[in-house]
Structure 1
Amino acid sequence: MRPADGSPVRVGVFGLLGSGNLGNDGSLEAVLGYLREAHPEASVDALCGGPEVVAARYGIPATRLHWYRGEYRTASRAGAIAGKGLGKLVDVFRTASWVRRHDVVIVPGMGVLEATLPLRPWGFPYSLLLLCASGRLLGTRVALVGVGAAPIADRPTRALVRWSARLAAYRSYRDGLSRDAMREMGVDTSRDEVYPDLAFALPTPSAGTPSDAEAPGPVCVGLMDFHGGNDDRARAEEIHRRYLDGTIDFVRALVAQGRTVRLLTGDACDAPVVAAVLEAVDSPLVTASEAASLADLMKEAAAADSVVATRYHNLVCALKAGTPTLALSYAAKSDALMARMGLDAYRHPAREVDAGRLLGQFRELEERAAELRRTLAERNLVAARLLEDQFAALTSALFPASGRARGHVPAHATRETP
């Protein structure tokens, strides 16, 4: 629909988009697909981490999220510290000015309400609070769509996240654990719903052809620059070394069996881990993917016999492609995803990678490959239907008929994949 004056509805998208994280960009791509199909009249632009990338890749105007360009670099000198401090003040006005120009702002997916990876409260949590508070003050509907959440121990971060969620006009989550976490943090979630991750709305690549028993095909191994979570800073290097050593040993074992291994990532920061594995294994059977999008990752996964991966959206891509997948799980969101897709038995802790035990789980995964492919095909159909419901609910909540009250769409049942 259009505003009362007949002008196109103005929609903003917000987040760490275009910054090198393929999962974040995949969520954006899914929401843009929805907007172009359901609301082609809408005028869309972004306030994001990588405006040049977003503008070039998705063809929408984009503005830099932070006034201070060194926001995510460690500040040790007085000038840098002063720049960051000034930037926090300037961003109050920049964010409010951007929000004022929109009828609706969508935060597409992403783990914006969690701290499962190292996070500072004055970073993105502060930016999200500015967004949601501006929306409430200026009458712009802000929607947190299919987002991830998790319990947060750090008090300042938890407070910022809680108030951001409370001030949003619409909330939905990518799993039940996320909704439970927000309820435990004091947010009224009685009208919030749960749907599959937004990436399940992206086009499905052509299914690969599984290899026969005499000629096993490639294995995709998804890597991550993993150092534990926000509460693991004191043990970060120990956790990283254990993860890296275990993963290297696992890849070596695959190579010793003559298997071709394709290394996947999901964020630009993962490149050093890929380099470390390539150097340690030193085999022509191991190559690194140069995937630039979730679509590229799905194609890689679809061409493989099986996938072993760490990053959440590496798992999403492999499951969406219908490929038997084993998770090197680092957070409850990965566990919930694997259970929802019928592969709950195929999880291994990223903090304690045991190459021998992992290899045993991997063999069992491949032995049950045909059965698991059928399970994934069924679960993907359900996920697609549920995301149609998500987008219908979003239209009802954010693009109401003239004069309709703003707010959450009523919820009567949780919509989760069985």
Structure 2
Amino acid sequence: MTSAGGSPVRVGVFGLLGSGNLGNDGSLEAVLGYLRAEHPEAVVDALCGGPEVVTARYGIPATRLHWYRGEYRTASRAGAIAGKGLGKLVDAFRTAAWVRRHDVVIVPGMGVLEATLPLRPWGFPYALFLLCASGRLSGSRVALVGVGAARIANPSTRALVRWSARLAAYRSYRDVPSRDAMRAMGVDTARDEVHPDLAFALPAPPAGQPPVAPGRVCVGVMDFHGGDDDRDRGEEIHRRYLEGTTRFVRALVEDGRPVRLLTGDACDAPVVAAILDAVDSPLVTAAEAASLADLMKETAAADAVVATRYHNLVCALRSGTPTLSLSYAAKSDALMAEMGLGAYCHPAREVDADRLLEQFRSLEKRSAELRETLTERNRAAAQRLDRHFTALTAALFPATGRTRAPAPARNQDHARAQGHTRQETP
């Protein structure tokens, strides 16, 4: 793939990648698989939160997203406050210089246009605005690909997110509520498309594997404190979530069910530790997943899954396992409805262990039927994502004239994509 001048097209990927969130890294892996299959000559590098991890895991050069290393630590001393302030100025120049070196910059999935978890406007929203503004000024095409969005109450955060979306050259969303939210915040979405989450492009575990432990239930937990508007009552929300989830796990153990605890971010470890300590049973174990592929293997080996984090749900549904969502945002409800399990959502802010058990037992009674439904919905999701990648090529790489490979070939290439996308010379 070459640019108009005959040189290889330079593609950047941007986001909180390599920072411990498996969902974010799974979205990156899906995009790298697409680039490997459809545009193998692209020169790819990243501006991201965890450059060392991204380089080691995916084999592409990576630069730290923020100049100030303490960006995500609370600043209480004058020196730290001054460092953060200076970092914002330096990052404006660093981001602009990095964007100018690329023909295309892709923001792969992630909830970059939402504030469903606590978020400060001058953190990632500011970084995203710098990216999109730099792209508009330099002529580099910035693409927000399969991203999540939600209505934002904070005026500063809302303004930064709105302008980021307006300045991007291409936008697509992972669900209809995301597109609706951006329209409600004043963005013209008439040409924006909706496709399944990028993680549905990742290979699913082979079907028909023997169960690791008969009757196993995977329970995906989260260090949940509510959303950006819940800061004043975050600790109370967390306490109720932890108590309800722990009661549910204890009830499963009392029924003799093996329980496998899953996470999706490094920050979830204290929740796992609290449940293990409270239940104190050999039937409860914790997985050490390093990728979405690991999570899919865990969920594929379970009879059922109950999960909070969005990409825990994606992995369970992608693996075809009946799943119940502890929903903390509209994106979870939309995903479950899209996959035919809309009746199996339970509010994460108000976990009622007794009611959750009732829903879980109903889910298990319909297990065979729901597995058939998930097989059909996964097939449809794969077809829609194939069309998404076709549209992405037409929008971002119109000069290449490449013809896309059929979906099966793309999936085979994707399995080899990790670490094989052509690198930028440092």
SS at match of 1:12: strand
Runs of 4+ in 1 over 2 A off after TM superposition: 207-211
Match in the other structure for 1:231:
229
Is 1:249 paired with 2:247? yes
Match in the other structure for 2:374:
376
The CA deviation at 1:5 is 2.4
Residue identity matched to 1:8: P
SS at match of 1:143: strand
Residue identity matched to 1:368: R
Following the alignment from structure 1 to structure 2, what is the Cα–Cα distance between the partners of residues 142 and 5? Answer: 20
Is 1:126 paired with 2:126? yes
The CA deviation at 1:330 is 0.3
The CA deviation at 1:207 is 2.8
1:207-356 alignment runs, 5 A limit: 207=207, 216-356=214-354
Is 1:146 paired with 2:139? no
Report if aligned partners of 1:151, 1:181 keep a CA contact under 8 Å in 2. yes
Report if aligned partners of 2:13, 2:107 keep a CA contact under 8 Å in 1. yes
Residue identity matched to 1:182: M
Following the alignment from structure 2 to structure 1, what is the Cα–Cα distance between the partners of residues 163 and 148? Answer: 16
* 2:399 counterpart (394, 401, 405): 401
Following the alignment from structure 1 to structure 2, what is the Cα–Cα distance between the partners of residues 139 and 366? Answer: 53
1:354-373 alignment runs, 5 A limit: 354-373=352-371
1:140-179 alignment runs, 5 A limit: 140-179=140-179
The CA deviation at 1:295 is 0.2
Report if aligned partners of 1:206, 1:299 keep a CA contact under 8 Å in 2. no
SS at match of 1:160: helix
Match in the other structure for 2:182:
182
TM-score scaled to structure 2, two decimals?
Answer: 0.93
5+ long unaligned stretches in structure 2: 402-426
TM-score scaled to structure 1, two decimals?
Answer: 0.94
Following the alignment from structure 1 to structure 2, what is the Cα–Cα distance between the partners of residues 152 and 290? Answer: 33
Report if aligned partners of 2:240, 2:349 keep a CA contact under 8 Å in 1. yes
Following the alignment from structure 1 to structure 2, what is the Cα–Cα distance between the partners of residues 246 and 208? Answer: 33
Report if aligned partners of 2:322, 2:367 keep a CA contact under 8 Å in 1. yes
Is 1:88 paired with 2:93? no
Change over 3 Å in CA distance of 1:38–1:95 after alignment to 2: same
SS at match of 1:86: helix
Change over 3 Å in CA distance of 1:402–1:202 after alignment to 2: closer
1:43-82 alignment runs, 5 A limit: 43-82=43-82
Following the alignment from structure 2 to structure 1, what is the Cα–Cα distance between the partners of residues 282 and 207? Answer: 26
Structure 1, residues 229-255: CA drift from partner, whole Å, max 9, x if none? Answer: 000001100000000000000000000
SS at match of 1:7: coil
Aligned length: 400
Following the alignment from structure 1 to structure 2, what is the Cα–Cα distance between the partners of residues 388 and 209? Answer: 27
Report if aligned partners of 2:52, 2:62 keep a CA contact under 8 Å in 1. yes
Match in the other structure for 2:408:
none
Following the alignment from structure 1 to structure 2, what is the Cα–Cα distance between the partners of residues 24 and 75? Answer: 26
The CA deviation at 1:217 is 1.5
Report if aligned partners of 2:3, 2:399 keep a CA contact under 8 Å in 1. no
The CA deviation at 1:370 is 0.2
Residue identity matched to 1:367: K
Following the alignment from structure 2 to structure 1, what is the Cα–Cα distance between the partners of residues 176 and 233? Answer: 29
Match in the other structure for 2:136:
136
Following the alignment from structure 1 to structure 2, what is the Cα–Cα distance between the partners of residues 98 and 227? Answer: 35
Report if aligned partners of 2:220, 2:262 keep a CA contact under 8 Å in 1. yes
Residue identity matched to 1:37: A
Structure 1, residues 277-310: CA drift from partner, whole Å, max 9, x if none? Answer: 0000000000000000000000000000000000
Residue identity matched to 2:385: L
SS at match of 2:13: strand
SS at match of 1:255: helix
Structure 1, residues 7-50: CA drift from partner, whole Å, max 9, x if none? Answer: 11000000000000000000000000000000000000000000
Following the alignment from structure 2 to structure 1, what is the Cα–Cα distance between the partners of residues 184 and 70? Answer: 34
The CA deviation at 1:402 is 7.3
Report if aligned partners of 1:208, 1:302 keep a CA contact under 8 Å in 2. no
Report if aligned partners of 1:210, 1:305 keep a CA contact under 8 Å in 2. no
SS at match of 1:336: helix
- Superposed CA RMSD in Å reads 1.1
Is 1:98 paired with 2:70? no
Change over 3 Å in CA distance of 1:78–1:246 after alignment to 2: same
The CA deviation at 1:4 is 2.3
SS at match of 1:106: strand
The CA deviation at 1:401 is 1.9
Following the alignment from structure 1 to structure 2, what is the Cα–Cα distance between the partners of residues 359 and 380? Answer: 26
Following the alignment from structure 1 to structure 2, what is the Cα–Cα distance between the partners of residues 87 and 224? Answer: 30
Following the alignment from structure 2 to structure 1, what is the Cα–Cα distance between the partners of residues 52 and 394? Answer: 32
Report if aligned partners of 2:4, 2:399 keep a CA contact under 8 Å in 1. no
Following the alignment from structure 1 to structure 2, what is the Cα–Cα distance between the partners of residues 262 and 303? Answer: 10
Change over 3 Å in CA distance of 1:285–1:163 after alignment to 2: same
Following the alignment from structure 2 to structure 1, what is the Cα–Cα distance between the partners of residues 6 and 155? Answer: 45
Higher relative contact order (CA closer than 8 Å, sequence separation 6+) = 2
Residue identity matched to 1:395: T
Identity of aligned residues (%): 84
